[in-house]
Structure 1
């Protein structure tokens, strides 16, 4: 199930969006840009619905911060119908937009389009290689090399590494990582993820002991580098 971050300062609109999206996605809600960026950096987000007219940190600023580390779909909501402004936001990296007031059915349809594109692009034939430091992951060939040497990884460890390599330096909660890879709810007592992360760390260290690739941020989650 996809995870959608809704950044909207109007609580009524936010709750309405969460209600219509929850049958198909996990919805994380944020009332301002600071909270939205915090959720983006600590959870595994698949799509962001972003209001542009936020108090404090504007939606445009949030979009710029997201685009520094991620290419996840961002659907912006705006009350401004100025075409030049909308074009500038799209040029800054937004994938789509809706002007307020909007039709809920249309919003759900646009969200589904973006999620289908995301699902199709992930590990699609011809997808670009992921390279972080001496690590190289090839989705098409399903291979990982470290300093040019092949690293043999089972399916789940490969998927975990791919998620981390797509967003280096971003901290992910264990629940977000588990739900992204296993596609089922995470339980606090679940030890499966810890075992796979430990195995992955061990294999990486065997090839390059001086470089710590996977770092645990205690009480928050894990990150690559």
Structure 2
């Protein structure tokens, strides 16, 4: 909840600052009730605008409404983000981060990593990985999966020779 007339930084500037980094509900509260004041507040990133004087119960209802909307909107996004240690995979944006640093993967590398993450703890054979990612019979795979796993490890592991995320299960396949 921001007031347009706050000390040090006004609510409009605060809303712009918040929107640079965060996606959270903002309710602008102000004695300024002119249309242009409301438009400025909403344009700055406020989700709602309430003028003084107001009924405290109305403010509570608006806060609850914004929280409900925020939770519903972000519920799917949270399901799409999978965290394993310092590794974060966002399935909807297809972005991968290690300790907050974005890691650039090719589409096939992402598909392999995402497949392993979805089956965390399960050993996936090279054939199953190939068929799931390339949508072709595994007999065409040669060393394709192994080469891709090596490249993924080089990008996400601190020491690709001693991986902590993608483990090789000798004679069987790979596991997260």
The residue number in structure 2 matching 1:151 is 103
Secondary structure (helix, strand or coil) at the match of 1:180 reads helix
CA deviation after TM superposition for structure 1 residue 131, in Å: 1.4
Give the greater-gyration-radius structure (CA).
Answer: 2
Secondary structure (helix, strand or coil) at the match of 1:179 reads helix
Higher relative contact order (CA 8 A, sep 6+): 1
Secondary structure (helix, strand or coil) at the match of 1:140 reads coil
The RMSD of aligned alpha carbons is 2.5
Q: How high is the TM-score relative to the length of structure 1?
A: 0.41
Structure 1 counterpart of 2:124, from 139, 157, 172? 172
The residue number in structure 2 matching 1:55 is none
Provide Cα deviations, 1:47-75, integer angstroms capped at 9, x if missing partner: xxxxxxxxxxxxxxxxxxxxxxxxxxxxx
The residue number in structure 1 matching 2:36 is none
Query: Once superposed, which parts of structure 1, at least 4 consecutive aligned residues long, lie more than 6 Å away?
Result: 207-210
Q: How high is the TM-score relative to the length of structure 2?
A: 0.51
Q: Which runs of 5+ in 1 are unaligned?
A: 1-123
The residue correspondences of 1:1-225 to structure 2 (distance < 5 A) are: 128-187=80-139, 190-206=142-158, 212-224=164-176
- Tell me if the contact between 1:127 and 1:140 (Cα under 8 Å) persists in the aligned partners: no
| Count of residue pairs the alignment pairs up | 101
CA change 1:134–1:126 in 2 (3 A) is closer
